[in-house]
Amino acid sequence: MSENQGRADAPETHAAGPAAVFSSMEQVIRKAGVNRGLRALARLNQADGFDCPSCAWPDPDGHRAMAEFCENGAKAVASEAMKHTIGREFFARHSVEELARETDAWHDLQGRLAEPMLRREGASHYEPVSWDQAFAILAEELNALASPDEAVFYTSGRASNEAAFLYQLFARAFGTNNLPDCSNMCHESSGLALKQAIGVGKGTVMLEDFLEADVILCIGQNPGTNHPRMLSTLEAAVKRGAKLVAVNPLQEAGLLGFAHPQHVSAWLGRSTPLASTYLQVKVNGDMALLRGVAKQLVANDAADHGFLREHTIGFDIYQESLSDTGWEEIEELSGISRAAIAELAALMASGDRRVITCWAMGLTQHRNAVATIREVANVHLLLGAIGRPGAGLCPVRGHSNVQGDRTMGIFERMPEWFLAALEKQAGVPVPREHGFDTVDSIRAMHDGRAKVFFALGGNFAQATPDSTFTAEALRHCRLTCHVSTKLNRSHLVTGRRALILPCLGRSEDDRGRIVSTENSMGIVQSSQGRLPPASAELRSEIEIIAGMAEAVLGDRGRIRWRWLAEDYDRIRDWIEAVVPGFENYNERARKPGGFHLPNAARERVWHTPGGKAAFSDAPLDALRVAPGRFLLQTLRSHDQFNTTVYGLDDRYRGISGMRDIVFLNPQDLVEVGVKPGQRVDLTSHWHDGERHLTGLRAIPYQMPRGTAAAYFPEANVLVPVGHVAEGSNTPASKSIEISIRPSR
Ligand code: SF4
């Protein structure tokens, strides 16, 4: 990457269009080839095909389009379906140190992992190892631990229901609840807030509700890049007369307009305007905005009093906190005028109040995230806009099966009923003490309380905050082991010994067996890969877990690992026995479109301590920074999915060929004393000191003064491990206090 490579042009005013098709096909053909690539796309998100390994936006009920995927779904498949593989020759050619000097985008281009690899203690290179040897090393290290709680079993949201269930069964049979997952870093704040407010940690809407909603709020979410097929749902709603309100510090093309690539109009250069109202709230100003809406609704006597009486508790106390909150503070913290807030309140209370609020990391990754999401629920309780057609709450999950994994027991603090049911089914004692979540795991590895790290998918070293601290933590381990499809940076930040165990991708045939996933709206459906595996050495996630479990534990109680792994129907029978809502699982999973898990709040049944939906009267809060400092948010480019970087463009924001950038309000560039493109150094400020990221190019962008935005994983080095959301312990990666100086 030479100094002057890369361009910053005017951002797009709409998402998708022909450019999305060209970009998808370019990646598919370059990485997977015409034959393998098109075969994969033909099965992507089809009822008899495989579930997209990218985000968790649901597939349409009933009819599926021939191309039932978006640009980023196609890129995810292109990356996974790569026909080129890397094995012993590749790792003999490249030392771990050399590989670590390469970029994340370069790692993704190298190809599919072909065989198990081992890095011996003190070795500079990985070398091949047999599966049996790999399992023996896992058994040796895990069984040498003084306590099962010295092991950490991490899960990324790509693991299927069956793999996740078997994995948590193994960890608990081994004796620990140390089951951190990527949800800890994304929607943990949503799960906690919704559990407190409405008794279920999931959203309450289905796709069909978008067909009936009159007002749709997208707050703290960038669907154009992170949930792209949502745009066709939003377009259909807007064309039907619904009002889309975007609340986001940045102007995002996917909220402004959409050119549906499967519509002729898009090829004639036309697009559908989406948001009719665009509120560029300050970073972390969302709670103040929502509190203002609630205050205005009460002032307008627009609350649904019948609903309040019958279904809620705590309104009186909340009403007091509304009257105690002044408009000046609301306007100052949100950056939005009282008039605009009043307009929004009137819109939301108009008609039958069929209002859906959607959100993502822009709400969940702040210190006050749980309180902010409770405020979303407060507004919906005031309106009675929950548990009826066209209305409800919609946290949009960013990883294809992150919700399913949680349902399967991937959580460091599962409730007693689940642990008891598992114990009964498995016939082995199950630990009750809560385990480590992601941030706890980093700390435990750093201070030596955890000594073995096992990851089922993901890219832990890059996805987590405080990259330098996390890398030190991983290096303190006796063993780090990753089940992966592609090379990534976590393979290069190793413990004393390290294993890479290559698994089948979702698009690949697993001896005709099906797995299943659960999307953002609680629909469980089957997924079956059809492509020939990239290498004969690959094993399914389930077979790898069973192989490890057999080596480490052997059969225990009623658990027969190999027997369970041979036929996934057996694992689904166990899930049916332990997890409510999975009756006739094997039969229903095979039904085209799958089945919907029960959601009590959708039926206005509240499994809260008080048996009613609960208001929250948390004090209004927002992060304030010292004079001359900025609030930084980390974000994705359009050419990445989580930590996987498919390319160096961010088309919608006008960026091409570079990632070493920071977005700033044009006046703030002047304030810092730099010209567009000039390099700057970022320093984050925290109790325990400073963290640095140097040499980023300053790019002017339409956003509130005093805020900055930079890509993760690169900017994760600036996020202190202790800077987390209260209650959920989610890294607060969307509001980091920084200072900016011109690079020397
Ligand atoms: S919207 Fe999400 S799930 Fe659907 S194809 Fe795109 S990335 Fe995949």
pLDDT at 29: 97
pLDDT at 456: 98
Give residue for tokens 């099965």: 43
Distance of CA 47 to the CA centre of its chain: 24
Asked whether residue 455 falls in the same domain as residue 582, the answer is yes
Asked whether residue 427 falls in the same domain as residue 537, the answer is yes
The neighbour count for residue 491, using CB atoms within 10 Å, is: 26
Please state which of the ranges 33-47, 54-68, 290-304 shows the lowest mean pLDDT. 54-68
Asked whether residue 656 falls in the same domain as residue 736, the answer is yes
Asked whether residue 384 falls in the same domain as residue 407, the answer is no
From the alpha carbon of 72, which atom of ligand 1 is closest?
7
Asked whether residue 374 falls in the same domain as residue 406, the answer is no
Distance CA 620, CA 285 (A): 10
More confident: 554 or 12: 12
Asked whether residue 380 falls in the same domain as residue 479, the answer is no
What spacing in Å lies between the alpha carbon of 98 and ligand 1's midpoint? 34
Asked whether residue 201 falls in the same domain as residue 145, the answer is no
pLDDT at 60: 87
Q: How many domains does the chain have?
A: 3
Asked whether residue 444 falls in the same domain as residue 535, the answer is yes
- Domain CATH for 432: 3.40.50.740
Q: Which residue has the CA at smallest separation from atom 1 of ligand 1?
A: 229
What spacing in Å lies between the alpha carbon of 228 and ligand 1's midpoint? 6
Domain end residue (candidates: 396, 425, 444): 396
pLDDT at 4: 54
Asked whether residue 576 falls in the same domain as residue 656, the answer is no
What spacing in Å lies between the alpha carbon of 50 and ligand 1's midpoint? 12
pTM for this predicted structure: 0.97
- 701 pLDDT band, cuts 50/70/90, is very high
Residues of 703-739 as b/e, b for ≥16 C-beta within 10 angstroms?
bbebbbbbbbbbbbbbbbbebbbbbbbbbbbbbbbbb
What spacing in Å lies between the alpha carbon of 473 and ligand 1's midpoint? 33
Asked whether residue 248 falls in the same domain as residue 360, the answer is yes
Q: Which residue has the CA at smallest separation from atom 3 of ligand 1?
A: 55
Q: Is residue 617 part of a domain?
A: no
- Domain CATH for 278: 3.40.228.10
Asked if residue 396 lies in contact with residue 56, where contact means CB atoms within 8 angstroms, the answer is: yes
Is residue 236 scored above 50 in pLDDT? yes
Q: Is residue 522 part of a domain?
A: yes
Helix axes 161-174, 416-426, angle to 10 degrees: 80
- 473 pLDDT band, cuts 50/70/90, is very high
Q: Which residue has the CA at smallest separation from atom 8 of ligand 1?
A: 73
Asked if residue 525 lies in contact with residue 102, where contact means CB atoms within 8 angstroms, the answer is: no
Q: Is residue 432 part of a domain?
A: yes
Q: Is residue 607 part of a domain?
A: no
- 285 pLDDT band, cuts 50/70/90, is very high
pLDDT at 523: 97
Q: From its phi and psi, is residue 33 left (phi > 0), alpha (psi between -120 and 50) or beta?
A: left
Q: Is residue 23 part of a domain?
A: no
Q: Is residue 25 part of a domain?
A: no
pLDDT at 2: 47
Q: CB under 6 Å to ligand 1: residues?
A: 45, 52, 54-55, 57, 69-70, 72-73, 227-229
Q: Which of 24, 70, 403, 646 to mutate to test the pocket of ligand 1 (most atoms within 8 A of CB)?
A: 70
Helix axes 327-334, 286-299, angle to 10 degrees: 150
What spacing in Å lies between the alpha carbon of 336 and ligand 1's midpoint? 32
Average pLDDT over residues 149-165: 98
Q: Which of 27, 72, 77, 506 to mutate to test the pocket of ligand 1 (most atoms within 8 A of CB)?
A: 72
Asked if residue 246 lies in contact with residue 218, where contact means CB atoms within 8 angstroms, the answer is: yes
- Show the tokens assigned to 417: 């009923």
Percent of the chain with pLDDT over 90: 97
Which residue, 615, 191, 235, 604, is CA-closest to 389? 604
DSSP 636-651: --TTEETTEE--S-BG
Distance CA 208, CA 388 (A): 11
Mean residue pLDDT of the chain comes to 97
From the alpha carbon of 55, which atom of ligand 1 is closest?
2
Asked whether residue 353 falls in the same domain as residue 435, the answer is no
Q: Is residue 309 part of a domain?
A: yes
Domain end residue (candidates: 562, 590, 618): 590
Helix axes 338-348, 286-299, angle to 10 degrees: 70
pLDDT digit string (tens) for 57-116? Answer: 999 888 888 899 999 999 999 999 998 999 999 999 999 999 999 999 999 999 999 999
- Domain of residue 731, residue span: 630-742
Asked whether residue 216 falls in the same domain as residue 342, the answer is yes
From the alpha carbon of 227, which atom of ligand 1 is closest?
1
Domain end residue (candidates: 358, 381, 396): 396
- Show the tokens assigned to 43: 């099965």
What spacing in Å lies between the alpha carbon of 71 and ligand 1's midpoint? 8
Is residue 245 scored above 90 in pLDDT? yes
Q: Which residue has the CA at smallest separation from atom 7 of ligand 1?
A: 73
From the alpha carbon of 44, which atom of ligand 1 is closest?
5
What spacing in Å lies between the alpha carbon of 70 and ligand 1's midpoint? 6
Q: Is residue 265 part of a domain?
A: yes
pLDDT at 554: 87
What spacing in Å lies between the alpha carbon of 29 and ligand 1's midpoint? 19
pLDDT at 557: 83
Q: Which of 23, 45, 50, 54 to mutate to test the pocket of ligand 1 (most atoms within 8 A of CB)?
A: 54
pLDDT at 587: 97
- Domain CATH for 683: 2.40.40.20
Is residue 500 scored above 90 in pLDDT? yes
From the alpha carbon of 59, which atom of ligand 1 is closest?
4
Average pLDDT over residues 134-163: 98
pLDDT at 302: 97
What spacing in Å lies between the alpha carbon of 224 and ligand 1's midpoint? 11
Average pLDDT over residues 194-213: 97
Is residue 1 scored above 80 in pLDDT? no
Give me the residues paired with residue 394 across strands.
358
- 5 pLDDT band, cuts 50/70/90, is confident
From the alpha carbon of 52, which atom of ligand 1 is closest?
8
Is residue 314 scored above 60 in pLDDT? yes
What spacing in Å lies between the alpha carbon of 214 and ligand 1's midpoint? 24
